[in-house]
Amino acid sequence: MTARTVRRSIRPAATLTALLVMCGWFAAPARAQPANSVFRLSYWPASTTAADNSTETQVGTWTTGFWALDYRGRFSGPLGVHLQLAGGAQSDGGGLWSPSTSGTDTIWSGNLVYEWALAGASLRVLAGYGSLRWTSSSVAGFPSFGAPQTLTSRGFRVGAEVELPISQRLTLTGSVARYPSNSTTFETTGISSSSSSSANDFAASLTYAVTGNWLLEAGYRVTWVNSGRHDLGGTVWNTTVQWQGAVLTVGARF
């Protein structure tokens, strides 16, 4: 699989998310309504790939079993906060990550949110700060770099989310977020390199409102980060790391 193929694989989720957000933008405005605070716990068994941007070839694969916490709350009126934290262990390494991968992946963000209640939809725009981090203590293809190896990408993020109720209990949700100018570091034994980069996050889900305050969700999420260019003792590291897969969620409104 090439880097071009990896990028092509995110198009269905990105297209669906973009359509949902556009539907929210073009819906007729109405007065904003208060939203409840919502807690969510998710399991996201992400298929993870690392692709060399210079040669457009896939250099490694692994699976990350993310557990994610999500909180959405309101300050007053249309203003609110959205906090996300996802972390998981790596397994089943392939390519340069074969025969095994040992490490963790972590993604988090904190966002201020402004919400509109639209005709038949709810639209939220957000701005905040986030981090995407990959750490591996066993990468067979890079023994000369030492271990552990850590890639951290942090920066300002902006995005939008739209909710479209399709029945009394079912709601379709799409979200998109962009990190336009991250500060990225690659660190390993005796080597530390910094660069600028970017990242993107797309998600779509279907929510079922169970009796009471409980929610059940099934969805799909695609997140990827460009490492930027790093000179590691004569070896150039310029890689895109992508996580994608189905997400299962249980939540509660308060």
d(Cα 221, Cα 201) in Å, to the nearest integer?
Answer: 8
DSSP 10: T
User: Please, what CATH class does the domain formed by 3-253 belong to?
Assistant: mainly beta
Mean pLDDT of 206-215: 93
pLDDT reading at 144 higher than 90: no
How confident is the prediction for the chain on average, in pLDDT? Answer: 83
pTM: 0.83
Who wins on pLDDT, 12 or 126?
126
Hey, how many other C-beta atoms are within 10 angstroms of the C-beta on 31? Answer: 7
Sequence spans of domains, the chain: 3-253
The C-alpha atoms of residue 92 and residue 47 are separated, in whole angstroms, by 10
**Position 187, amino acid:** E
Contacts (Cβ under 8 Å, ≥6 apart) of 118: 24, 27, 28, 29, 30
Most confident of 81-85, 119-123, 146-150, 164-168: 81-85
Condensed to tens digits (0 to 9), the pLDDT of residues 60-86 reads 888 999 999 999 998 888 999 999 999
Closest CA to 135 of 102, 108, 100, 182: 102
